[in-house]
């Protein structure tokens, strides 16, 4: 409305200049503001007061001439002069209502995408399966799901990718604990967080256990059948915890969207070999790295993107490089959006730049890190429990529903239990989202 009113005023000024009422060469910045008191119209402009002096007229006289020169517009019902010479515009509510009614008849509410439909990978949620989902995974999950839905609404083809952390050294410790006491492990796995703590305690307390954990990682990576069986068992349970949370949050994610770090294992050696073939690989203290001139530290020394440790192990960046080319070549994505907190900004800039230099993705493919801040506690640091642990997402959701329940019951004691629970769920989960 403001833009179109500015445009109307501009036309009136042009007309008055042509008629010789206003001198040539005026090009004022036309200001249009929302009125505070709607009984005096919806928008106001001080243009007549601004131009009165150069025009050699009283503001109210100029205002009158401006009103006479304004082109008719269906969205404006009337224009009045107020106070020392303000122009007050009243919007035509019927015309606006009719316009909104017409939009409601359109399934897309009149919203259209600017540009052609794309295939978009949305990388979201991505918890580490060794532990339970915590409050820190909320934003990646909720914002990612929200944006995925918006893009779908606009006609894009969205491919959700849950890049879960299902690989790495912690798994050796967990497998060793499962192996040590299979029965207890089965029941303890219901509480993954407790299971992780118990395994960690054994790991810290017993050198012999720690040694076994390290051997199991090696065996797992070598594809040992028994290790793989335990690993699958653990991940199935952990993923079912995640799925229960997604369902409870109304987040559109399923097991079919899971494409974890382990899914790229077979390509990691190729990634390193291909980087080498492109002349992008350097050795630094035995580790294999990519140095890019864009990335330097404060002392102007190049920063490494480490893709293989001295011992031969691959890293987070190697997996992400493999994922970029999977998304480009297999998923044929035009665009990939990564919903990961802002602390990983440098990691993604480096991975995206390396992927382009190596030709892993076509130049036309958009790679974007959609960073966001962390969920902080009162101390301004990432939210922790009093004893320094993370808050489990399941506990947070329980508490949100419980608090909503207490509030609703206090206000509407006559509601029956089932209805109370239903409202508490909608309010509690809705508030967290
Ligand atoms: N699992 C990782 C973490 O918890 C997030 C993964 C995000 N996605 C990615 N492609 N790196 O920090």
| Chain segment 240-283, per-residue pLDDT in tens | 999 999 999 999 999 999 999 999 999 999 999 999 999 999 99
Residues in contact with ligand 1 (CB, 6 Å cut-off)? 123, 126, 128, 163, 165, 320, 323, 338, 340
- State the pairing for strand pair 86-91/43-45: antiparallel
Closest Cα to atom 9, ligand 1: which residue? Answer: 163
- Ligand 1 geometric centre to CA of 230 (Å): 23
- Counting from 1 in the atom list of ligand 1, the atom nearest the Cα of 164 is 1
Domains defined along the chain, listed by start = 2-94 (3.30.1360.70), 117-165+260-382 (3.40.50.620), 168-252 (no CATH), 393-432 (no CATH)
DSSP 263: G
- Ligand 1 geometric centre to CA of 344 (Å): 9
**Burial of residue 280 (number of CB atoms within 10 Å: 0-12, 13-18, 19+):** middle
Residues 298, 287 contacting (CB under 8 angstroms): no
Candidate of 261, 323, 340, 343 to mutate for ligand 1, largest count of ligand atoms within 8 Å of Cβ: 340
CA distance 272 to 20: 75
- Counting from 1 in the atom list of ligand 1, the atom nearest the Cα of 323 is 10
**Bridge partners, 337 (sequence order):** 122, 368
Quick one: pLDDT band at residue 414, thresholds 50, 70, 90? Answer: very high
CA distances from 107 to 49, 74, 147 (A): 45, 25, 18
pLDDT at 111: 86
CA distances from 149 to 40, 102, 143, 243, 350 (A): 41, 23, 10, 18, 28
pLDDT at 124: 98
Q: Which of 141, 142, 146, 195 is nearest to 163 (CA)?
A: 141
- Ligand 1 geometric centre to CA of 371 (Å): 12
303-307, 381-385, 401-405 — which is least confidently predicted? 381-385
Strand, helix or coil for residue 151: helix
Closest Cα to atom 2, ligand 1: which residue? Answer: 126
- Ligand 1 geometric centre to CA of 127 (Å): 7
């Amino acid at each position: 409305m403001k833009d179109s009113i500015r445009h109307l005023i501009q036309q009136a000024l042009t007309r008055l200049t042509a008629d010789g009422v206003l001198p040539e060469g005026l090009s004022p910045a036309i200001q249009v503001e929302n009125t505070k008191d709607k009984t005096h119209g919806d928008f106001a402009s001080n243009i007549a007061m601004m131009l009165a002096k150069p025009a050699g007229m009283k503001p109210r006289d100029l205002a009158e001439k401006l009103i006479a020169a304004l082109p008719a517009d269906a969205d404006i019902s009337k224009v009045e002069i107020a106070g020392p010479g303000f122009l007050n515009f009243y919007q035509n509510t019927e015309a606006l209502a009719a316009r909104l009614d017409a939009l409601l008849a359109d399934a897309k509410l009149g919203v259209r995408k600017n540009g052609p439909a794309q295939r978009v990978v949305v990388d979201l949620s991505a918890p580490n399966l060794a532990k339970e989902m915590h409050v820190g995974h909320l934003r990646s999950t909720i914002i990612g799901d929200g944006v995925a839905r918006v893009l779908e609404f606009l006609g894009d083809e969205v491919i959700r990718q849950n890049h879960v952390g299902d690989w790495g050294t912690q798994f050796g410790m967990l497998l060793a604990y499962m192996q040590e006491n299979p029965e207890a492990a089965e029941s303890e796995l219901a509480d993954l967080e407790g299971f992780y703590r118990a395994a960690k305690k054994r790991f810290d307390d017993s050198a012999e256990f720690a040694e076994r954990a390290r051997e199991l990682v090696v065996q797992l990576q070598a594809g040992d059948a028994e290790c793989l069986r335990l690993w699958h068992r653990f991940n199935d349970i952990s993923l079912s915890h995640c799925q229960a949370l997604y369902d409870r949050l109304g987040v559109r994610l399923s097991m079919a969207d899971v494409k974890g770090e382990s899914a790229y294992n077979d390509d990691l050696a190729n990634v390193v070999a291909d980087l080498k073939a492109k002349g992008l690989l350097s050795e630094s203290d035995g580790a294999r790295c990519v140095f890019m001139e864009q990335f330097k530290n404060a002392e102007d020394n190049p920063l490494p993107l480490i893709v293989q440790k001295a011992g031969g192990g691959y890293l987070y960046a190697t997996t992400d490089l493999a994922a970029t080319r999977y998304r480009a070549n297999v998923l044929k994505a035009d665009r990939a959006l990564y919903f990961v907190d802002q602390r990983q900004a440098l990691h993604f800039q480096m991975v995206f730049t390396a992927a382009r230099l190596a030709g892993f993705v076509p130049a036309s493919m958009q790679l974007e890190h959609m960073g966001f801040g962390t969920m902080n506690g009162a101390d301004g640091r990432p939210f922790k429990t009093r004893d320094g642990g993370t808050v489990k997402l399941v506990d947070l959701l329980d508490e949100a529903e419980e608090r909503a329940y207490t509030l609703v019951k206090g206000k509407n004691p006559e509601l029956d239990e089932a209805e109370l629970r239903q409202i508490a769920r909608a309010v509690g989960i809705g508030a967290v989202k």
